[in-house]
Amino acid sequence: MFANKVAVVTGGAKGIGKAIAEEFRKAESRVCIIDLLPNDYFVGDLADQTVLENFASKVISDHGRVDYLINNALPLMKGIDTCSYQEFNYALRVGVAAPFYLSKLFMPYFSPQAAIVNISSSRDRMSQPQTESYTAAKGGIAALTHALAVSLAGRVRVNSISPGWIDTEYTDYQGPDALQQPAGRVGNPMDIANMVLYLCSEKAGFITGENICIDGGMTRQMIYHNDFGWTLRAAESGSHPVSSSVELQQQSKLEKGDAHANG
C-alpha cells in the first residue's frame, strides 16, 4: 500500500516523528525528514522560510511528488511568565506557519489520494499552567487542519491527531501514572504512528477535516473532588495560588500519585 510512496515527516529525527518515519520505511515508502537534529535527509530550522523553500525544492527535485505530509515538529513550550514575544512567535512559526507553508509549497505536487496529517496535542483542548506558546501552536494546527481540508477538498485529505501523554522512551509506567488513565497505561509513539499510517491509507478515504484525540481517554474522564478516589490537594502558598495538583488515591491499592497530562 505504501511502497514507493513519498512521505515527508517534519521533526522526524526523534520521538513520535522518528516512529512515524520508521513505520513508513518499513512499509517501503521513501521518507524525507526535516529536523534540527542530524538525520539522513535535511537538517534545518522549520521557523525559517528559506529553509522550508529549500527543503521543499529538494523533495520535489528528488522525487517529483509528495504522497503524504506529516507535520509533526515540536514547538517551543514556554509560559506567560517567561516566554518573550520573539519566543512565542517562534513557536507559532514552527507549529503553525511551517505546516501551512509546506502544504502551500507542495500543493502543486501532491499526488492523487494524497494526505496531510498534522500532529496537534490534547493541549488543544486542555491546559497546564505556563504552557502558552506550545498550547497556542497546537490549537492553531488543529484549526488549520479543518481549514486546509476544506480548501483542498477533492485533492488532499487533511486530518490531525491530538496525542495525550506519550512517553517517547517507551517507559512502562505502573501505579497512579497508569491507573489515572482510562486505558490503564501511558501512551507510546507507536500509538500515534499507527494512526498516522491509517489516516494516510485508502481505508481512511472518507475521513477528512477530522481531529482524533489519542490520549487513553484522559480528556473524557470527569474529575470531582472526593469522587471515585480523586482528591484535590491545594497548592502551597506562593506566586501561583490558583495552581493545584490532583492526587489519585486508588482506594483498593492505597496508591497515590500526581496526575499528569504530557500531550
Q: Report strand pairing: 230-234 vs 244-250.
A: antiparallel
In DSSP notation, the chain reads --TT-EEEEETTTSHHHHHHHHHHHHTT-EEEEEESS--SSEE--TT-HHHHHHHHHHHHHHHS-EEEEEE-PPPP---TTT--HHHHHHHHIIIIIHHHHHHHHHGGGEEEEEEEEEE--GGGT---SS-HHHHHHHHHHHHHHHHHHHHTTTTEEEEEEEE-SB-TT-----THHHHTSTTSS-B-HHHHHHHHHHHHSGGGTT--S-EEEESTTGGG----TTSTTEEEEEPPSSS-TT-EEEEEEETTTTEEEE-----
Q: Which residue of the set 41, 68, 90, 134 is catalytic?
A: 134
134 belongs to the catalytic site: yes
The single residue listed with the C-alpha cell 485533492 is 155
Q: Are 211 and 149 in contact (CB under 8 A)?
A: no
Task: Give the neighbor-by-neighbor strand order of the sheet with 42-43.
Answer: 42-43, 30-35, 6-10, 66-71, 110-119, 156-163, 211-214
Annotated catalytic residues are 134
